[in-house]
Amino acid sequence: MTISSGETTATATATARATATARGATTNIHHATAINRNKYEKLITKPRSQDAIAETETNGSASATATATATPAPIGATTDRTMLLPLEDTNAAAGIVTYKQKSNGSASGSASGHGNGHINSSGSGSGSTSCSTSSSTSIGISSSGSGSGGSHLGAGSSYSMGWTCHCCNLIARRCFGINVRRCVLALLAITMVTIFYYTHYVDTDVFNGYKIEVAGKSLPVLTNLDKGRYGVIVFENLDKYLNMDKWNRELLDKYCREYDVGIVGFLSPSEETLVGAQLRDFPLFVNTNLRLRDASLNPGSSVLRLTRAGETAWGALPGDDWAVFQHNHSTYEPVEWAQRNTNEYPADSVGQVQLPLTTVLQDRGHLDGIQRVLFGSSLRFWLHRLVFLDSLSYLSHGQLSLNLERMILVDIDDIFVGEKGTRLRPDDVRALVATQKNIAAMVPGFKFNLGFSGKYYHHGTREENLGDDFLLQNVQEFNWFSHMWKHQQPHLYDNLTLLMAEMHLNYAFAVDHNIPTSSGYSISPHHSGVYPAHELLYVAWKKVWNVKVTSTEEYPHLRPARLRRGFIHRNIMVLPRQTCGLFTHTMYIDRYPGGRDKLDESIQGGELFQTIVYNPINIFMTHMSNYGSDRLALYTFQSVIKFLQCWTNLKLASAPPIQLAEMYFQLHPEEVDPVWGNPCDDARHKKIWSKTKNCDSLPKFLVIGPQKTGTTALYTFLSMHGSIASNIASPDTFEEVQFFNGNNYYRGLDWYMDFFPSGEALSLPPSNSSSPSPMPTQAGSPRYMFEKSATYFDGEAVPKRTHALLPHAKIVTILISPAKRAYSWYQHQRAHGDVIANNYSFYQVITASDSAPRALKDLRNRCLNPGKYAQHLEHWLAYYPAQQVHIIDGDQLRLNPIDVMNDLQRFLKVQPLLDYSNHLRYDVKKGFYCQALNEKRNKCLGKSKGRQYPTMDERSGKLLQRYYLNHNTALVKLLKKLGSRPIPQWLKEDLSTGT
């Protein structure tokens, strides 16, 4: 069960529903007419239901694949592949593109069987459009005359999940800065699991977050004071709602009525077949375990918003466990209908008129005051995903609504790149221009975006070289961006001058051939250097091309595509890039993975279709080779845009990359900051990462602080170990890199890794020839790298950032009395000449109000906030398991460092163990342990360490005991929860004094 909400008072009237739709009148489904029959085979666009065979999709998600039976070709005959290639006599002036067949070297014959057809499309875009999904595997668009007549789209009815649910990442997690699309995607994913769950808004005014909770037998808290916490309830299994115990059911129904909360329910499949069975407590009857076909929507339904009614999804629907509803009350209205599959029940259909069966039903609440939308099947059927989005929007009164505007940009990489026989010819360029005109009629502002590598200009056959020339003659027809001159991968360059020289060659080529150079957009071949970020690429892009925007499919990972994100690095906006199923070698339909059916499946409600539905901004990657040969890219994009127009009310448009990037980060401001991952954890990332980088040099553990707890002493003790090495010292922050918690993070991963050289460049830990020899280290043996930055402990973004880069690292923290730590930090600042610390007493600092000067508040916060130990440890434990976190008692580190270091070595599993009793000695003058250089001489920390401060005043001490009482209590509970961690003596004393 899912609950999505905006907070609403019980007395408030129901918000007006956001159901404004741009529904067109139902159009008639008709046959496409054959044109020039002596040249072209007529496309089958009317559904041939007798030939449809329902199949079950593997990997756990069912789909229906419609297969058309074809007349077998004579033995020895060669069947033509479906070509999407225009004739030489294409009437470009009239905007008509006629796609023909081409055998690609094989004997030509009559088209038959799967995947053979042609497309005629009107370039003007005028005339009425009619769409249908049919059981034929061919798609055809025909136009009469110059585009003034009606056009028809027929599409194979095969369905795909399009994306896989990874619900474990979404359940029981609080998210901030997440927009409507992300929330809806989460709901779509969660709806597929067989558990109860609840969703509600964190901030309903700006709608920037949601929460998903897993619930057991009892309901969660439904209200917060006088406000309802939830706005939509989704039952993945409606039986859970119908069979809820009386108390909870009455409580939930009362809540729904008082706060105008709607319910979405899915009938779950069961082995028992029900015929006319009444749903408990409702005048509603169901028949289950049916096979259905030919789904259509009710044009008068008030639920529909994004989804456009008026068409029919012809063919068998996925699965054999559908439920249909029968009702006898005016509160119910069908949203979706389907027909019984007469192929499966031939005896039942003889001489009978097939009446539509209700598969999605709206309950308008006239019966009990609660609005509902009930589904007779799951989200396996692509149309149900659209109706589900609309149900969430309708029942949440518009709060859970996707914007209807979609931006589309299609990049064509590798212009001029390609082997002979795979490049563009003049007629391919004509088809490109004509199809662009067709798409622009449906998508305002649309232009193909061409990325070029000038080195390979005129490297094809004679006809392909003419194609290069013809492309440049039409240079103003397209948008352009720079690839690399020789299509090199930038991460292979470690010299900025050489990298810029290659870019200058491509720039000069552009100038010589009148190619625009001011797009501010560039794509790196194979996405090399974009992520993981190769800093030289970003610098060279700025200097040569003034790049402001790029895109990649690699951030944070290639799959799943729905989780791709954007970021900004070195003032270059990086947008997520999507694929359309066409890759460099995808040139012929008969070689497409899965064949024509698989491509059509993606277009007709599958992955490509869903990508555009869920993403407000879509940048698609294609390649030059996709526009020659069978011209699959032209077919794919024109078809999916037509399909979107038929089945949705989305408003499609296009814009240049810079404008799209500005729009994207306005929609997703939370994505501005990058999160650097570990390239070695992803095989694809490792291939496009600098060869000079080595993941083995990254730290294996971090000493995270907090400050003034003994981290410098621990750093010194660790450096005595022959198998342990730390980062190179920073000229600004000395032994601390402070990468994860400040502006250094924006310098990038390369900057961080420069502090961890590998091999011979790694300096030995500090030692003295007269001191006892540390354990010997074998030449070439790996060092156990670590970093100490005491500001990491309480950094808000640090745990997330460190886990992204170092998920397997061990975390070491030191805790002392938080009151003593706060006082020590104040005295530290006084000793370093801090003006505020030297002009305000400690008591004045820790009692400063929020209206105090900013510098005083900052000092107050740095004194007090790190001492909220439980709060910060919980933050770290949200990313790292307890087995990777080691907590050191700071008092024990000072009083008994030998035992502490032995415990730490065992935790780190570092070998061999160093006997610290031979290396540490108590120094009477300093009052703590120091490194023993010889029998008589110690090497202690500097004068600033171990400084004796005046005793804290009693008033401040009592105030801090009270201030930290709840935090210390929480720390005790946390330590007990973690187990095998003794309660420090200082913590016991602080609690006894505080109470």
Which residues are documented as binding site for 3'-phosphoadenylyl sulfate?
A: 824, 929, 945-949
> What is the Rg, in whole angstroms, of the alpha carbon atoms belonging to the chain?
34
Rounded to whole angstroms, the Cα distance separating 166 from 173 reads 13
Can you list the pairs that 539-546 forms with residues at least 24 positions away whose Cβ atoms lie under 8 Å? 539/496, 539/570, 540/490, 540/496, 540/499, 540/500, 540/503, 541/503, 541/572, 542/570, 542/571, 542/572, 543/500, 544/500, 544/503, 544/504, 544/507, 545/482, 545/503, 545/507, 545/517, 545/520, 546/518, 546/520
Catalytic residue flag (residue 708):
yes
The partner residues of 340 in beta bridges, in order of sequence, read 292
Rounded to 5 degrees, φ, ψ at 494 are -115, 10
Q: How far is the CA of 743 from the CAs of 536, 569, 857, in angstroms?
A: 19, 12, 21
DSSP 8-state code for residue 746: G
Q: Strand (E) positions, 23-105?
A: 85-86, 96-100
Here the tokens at position 172 are: 């029981």
State how far the Cα of 393 lies from the Cα of 218, in Å rounded to an integer: 27
Give, in degrees to the nearest 5, the angle at Cα 452 between 449 and 456. 150
Cα–Cα distance, 140 to 30 (Å, whole number): 12
Residues 6+ apart with CB under 8 A from 296: 309, 311, 312, 313, 336, 337, 338, 356
* Residues 6+ away with beta carbon under 8 Å from 635: 84, 99, 119, 139
Tokens linked to 392: 């969430």
Find, among 515, 441, 453, 442, the residue nearest to 478 by Cα: 515
DSSP codes joined into one string, 927-954: TEEEEE-SSS-EE---TTTT---PPPPH
* Rounded CA separation 462/468 (Å): 10
Do residues 265 and 235 make contact, with C-beta atoms less than 8 angstroms apart?
A: yes
Q: Is the dihedral of CA 20, 22, 28, 33 positive or negative?
A: negative
Question: In the numeric block, which tokens belong to residue 790?
Answer: 């005491």
Name beta bridge partners: 285: 278, 326
Q: How many Å is the maximal CA-CA distance in the chain?
A: 110
Give a three-class secondary structure readout of 129-169. Answer: EEEEEECCCCCEEECCCCCCCCEEEEEECCCCCCCCCCHHH
Instruction: Tell me which of 211, 548, 708, 820 is the catalytic residue.
Output: 708
For residue 612 the two structure tokens come to: 């555009």
SS3 content of the chain, % helix, strand, coil (to 5): 35, 20, 50
CB 829 within 8 A of CB 784: no
Token pair 């000395």: residue: 734
Residue 876 CB neighbour total at 10 angstroms: 20
- Kindly report the three-state secondary structure assignment for every residue of 673-704: CCCCCCHHHCHHHHHCCCCCCCHHHCCCEEEC
Give Cβ neighbours of residue 476 (< 8 Å, ≥ 6 apart): none
Q: Which two tokens stand for residue 48?
A: 């041939």
Question: Please, which residues have CB within 8 angstroms of residue 549's CB and are 6 or more apart in sequence?
Answer: 520, 521, 572, 573, 574, 575, 657, 658, 660, 661
C-beta neighbour count of 965 within 10 angstroms: 15
The identity of residue 862, as a single letter, is R
Is 406 strand, coil or helix?
strand
Pairing of strands 357-363, 372-375: antiparallel
Q: Which residues are catalytic?
A: 708
